[in-house]
Copies of this chain bind each other. A is one copy, B any other.
Amino acid sequence: MQEYRPLRVALLGAGSVGSQVARLLIENKAELAARVGAELELIGVVVRDIDKAVKAGVPRQLLTTEAEDVIVSADIVIEVMGGIEPARTYILQALNSGSDVITANKALLATHGTELFDAAEQVGAQLYFEAAVAGAIPIIRPLRESLAGDKVNRIMGIVNGSTNYILDRMDTEGLSLEAAMAEATELGYLEADPSLDVEGYDAAQKAAILASLAFHTEVPLDKVYREGITKITAAQMEAAKRDGYVIKILAIAERIPANGGEAGVAVRVHPVLIDRKHPLGAVRGAFNAVFVEAEAAGELMFYGAGAGGVQTASAVLGDLVSAAKRHVAGGPGLADSVHANLPVLPIDRVHTRYQVTLEVTDQPGVLAKIANTFSAGNVSIETVEQSVRQDGGKRSKTATLEVGTHSATDAELSAVVKALAASESVESITSVIRVEGI
């Protein structure tokens, strides 16, 4: 093992992730030095509230509120404070002084990623972010390196643990959305303002990061289509179960072939029906999983804890060892490029399948009328299930139709739904949900 000077590590933030990173750095000091070939010296932990960090177990003598002093004297800066500012300013400071940076900050990467990567490239510094997507699951490195010789066609990810927990509880226990959300809040899975999770904003940030890596393309957050789980009902869950499906909220990024239009990629987050036997269908509780379809590798899936302080700290330390080894031995880090730079297309261009549930007037010819609406919209029907409720022994005046479509563009499918809503024979549309994974 070659002798090398100790590497100076600065830590920004001592919350649930930061305090674990500090603990592991201190407790595993000898083991980490053996793996890296140099000691990793934690020179300071920057926090806003020193007493709170002491309570979280960080040694008082490491703590400081003065970020700049620590940042400029570090070889490697770890940012786990979250939020846009001052995280952005600190990271730029670190990169501009030539330090490598490790961040778990998905919101920052999804909104200011280009600025940060450009800054890193200009000075030859590295920006690592395994912890920013899917917590402890190694997904960034496999995408950047293991699949570097392959061509990714599609990524489908359960990338938000809170919403997967909520949907799983609705599925397994028959809970209402409200009850499942209350449970998730009690367990600390949901913030006081749950919209970041349940409206899909968090998943959209991760989708943008994954898509930009997988397709070597800049993916602005505002081009990610987003639909949350707030309209999912217990009745939809029950119906999904009957059909052998489960409802998940997925982040999906995929190549779209030209097909007359412009070729590109489309990135979206929304609830889907997925076959219970699909590997993603078996992902329970608050776990995360990312399913990748690559041209040569075929189907891959990466599964694990998507959040949690100590789990996310594991990903941070993996990046730290990589960054430190690069210091010791010199040479390349995990450079990315946006050399492909494909257009990011609207969801209209995506090919998908819909399952539409309708209440229709129970009269002769209605089914034909509905079927015509689909075919007029260029959407072909795969399955129809019709059921008529008995209301207190009397035949109801409405029937329920559950229509499963073949694949069509999202534009065509949503136009059909609009036409159905305007149809006289349709009393109400009770569920519209995309079907994926087939």
For residue A296, CB closer than 8 A to chain B, the reply is: yes
Residue-wise, chain A 126-151 has the 8 Å CB interface mask toward B (1 for contact) of 00001000001110011001111111
Quick check: B314 and A305 within 8 Å, CB to CB?
no
Q: Which of A53-61, A176-184, A325-333, A357-365 contacts B (4 or more CB under 8 A)?
A: A325-333
Q: Nearest chain-B residue to A40 (Cβ)?
A: B149
Quick check: B296 and A313 within 8 Å, CB to CB?
yes
Give the shortest distance, in Å, between A129 (CB) and chain B (any CB).
Answer: 12
- CB-CB contacts below 8 Å: A265-320 with B: 277, 279, 282, 284, 294-305, 308, 310-311, 313-320
Quick check: A297 and B303 within 8 Å, CB to CB?
no
Quick check: B332 and A310 within 8 Å, CB to CB?
no
Residues of B within 8 A of A316 (CB): 149
Quick check: B326 and A331 within 8 Å, CB to CB?
yes
Q: Which of A28-36, A388-396, A405-413 contacts B (4 or more CB under 8 A)?
A: A28-36
For residue A337, CB closer than 8 A to chain B, the reply is: yes
In this complex, the member of A296, A304, A314 whose beta carbon has the largest number of chain B beta carbons within 10 angstroms is A296
The interface size bin for chain A is: 35 or more
Quick check: A304 and B297 within 8 Å, CB to CB?
yes
Give the shortest distance, in Å, between A242 (CB) and chain B (any CB).
Answer: 20
Give the shortest distance, in Å, between A73 (CB) and chain B (any CB).
Answer: 22
Among the listed B147, B277, B279, B314, which residue makes an inter-chain contact with A294, where contact means beta carbons less than 8 Å apart?
A: B314
Copies assembled: 2
Q: Nearest chain-B residue to A138 (Cβ)?
A: B146
Quick check: B298 and A147 within 8 Å, CB to CB?
no
Q: Assess A136 versus B296: contact at CB under 8 Å? Given A145-B321, A320-B149, A332-B326.
A: yes
For residue A236, CB closer than 8 A to chain B, the reply is: no
For residue A16, CB closer than 8 A to chain B, the reply is: no
For residue A322, CB closer than 8 A to chain B, the reply is: yes
Quick check: B148 and A317 within 8 Å, CB to CB?
yes
For residue A5, CB closer than 8 A to chain B, the reply is: no
Residues of B within 8 A of A347 (CB): none
Q: Nearest chain-B residue to A281 (Cβ)?
A: B282
For residue A20, CB closer than 8 A to chain B, the reply is: yes
Residues of B within 8 A of A339 (CB): 34-35
For residue A24, CB closer than 8 A to chain B, the reply is: yes
Q: Assess A322 versus B148: contact at CB under 8 Å? Given A296-B310, A297-B315, A339-B35.
A: yes
Q: Which 8 A-B pairs have the closest CB atoms?
A: A331-B331, A149-B317, A138-B146, A329-B332, A296-B314, A148-B321, A297-B314, A136-B297
What are 22 A-B residue pairs whose CB atoms fall within 8 Å in the complex? A20-B296, A28-B149, A28-B151, A130-B146, A136-B296, A136-B297, A138-B142, A141-B141, A145-B318, A146-B315, A147-B314, A149-B319, A295-B314, A297-B314, A298-B308, A299-B304, A301-B303, A302-B303, A326-B332, A328-B332, A330-B330, A330-B332
